[in-house]
Amino acid sequence: MSLIDRLTVDMKEAMKAREAGKLRLTVIRMVRAAIKNQEIEKGQELTDEEIILVLSREAKLRRDSMPEYEKAGRTDVLKTLKEEINILMEYLPRQLTEEEIITLVKKIVTDVGAQSPQDMGKVMSKVMPETKGKADGKAVNDIVKKVINGEL
């Protein structure tokens, strides 16, 4: 079953669940709208890989807004954002653990022969395709910096 079909089925189930599925329904509708906007922009239907990128972007938007709500003391919004991220994560591939990312980065650093922070671009250009949709880009960037600087 494709990702868009899965979203459609889950949306119908959330509609049937009424109050219990309200947040889930809202998140799925929002994602479907983002996917539709992307399809209109591209002029064609998105592949599952492209849908994963849309889902990752939506999760990242929520993660990035969390510190602001935390500073403002809005625990109610934080709770909702965390729930929305959990719903989005159900549709994304299994996320890489920090150890898996470190192992991958160390291998690529060795393959590329990176020895200084100036080589970060070379490493990132090899790491990002491997982690796309499977890890947060900021976390990957931080790990690459630490590995290149010899901290890991």
Q: What residue ranges of the chain are covered by domains with CATH 1.10.1510.10?
A: 3-89
Q: How much is the pLDDT for 65? A: 93
Please give the CATH superfamily to which domain 3-89 belongs: Uncharacterised protein YqeY/AIM41, N-terminal domain (1.10.1510.10)
d(CA 92, CA 46): 15
Q: How much is the pLDDT for 117? A: 85
Q: How much is the pLDDT for 135? A: 86
Q: How far is Cα of residue 103 from the mean position of the Cα atoms in its chain?
A: 20
The whole-model pTM stands at: 0.77
3 conformational bin, left if phi > 0, alpha if psi -120 to 50, beta if neither: alpha
Please list the pLDDT of the chain residue by residue as tens digits (152 residues).
889 999 999 999 988 887 777 999 999 999 999 999 999 999 999 998 899 989 989 999 999 999 999 999 999 999 999 999 999 999 988 888 999 999 999 999 888 888 888 888 888 999 998 888 788 888 899 999 888 888 88
Report the CATH architecture of 98-148. Answer: Orthogonal Bundle (1.10)
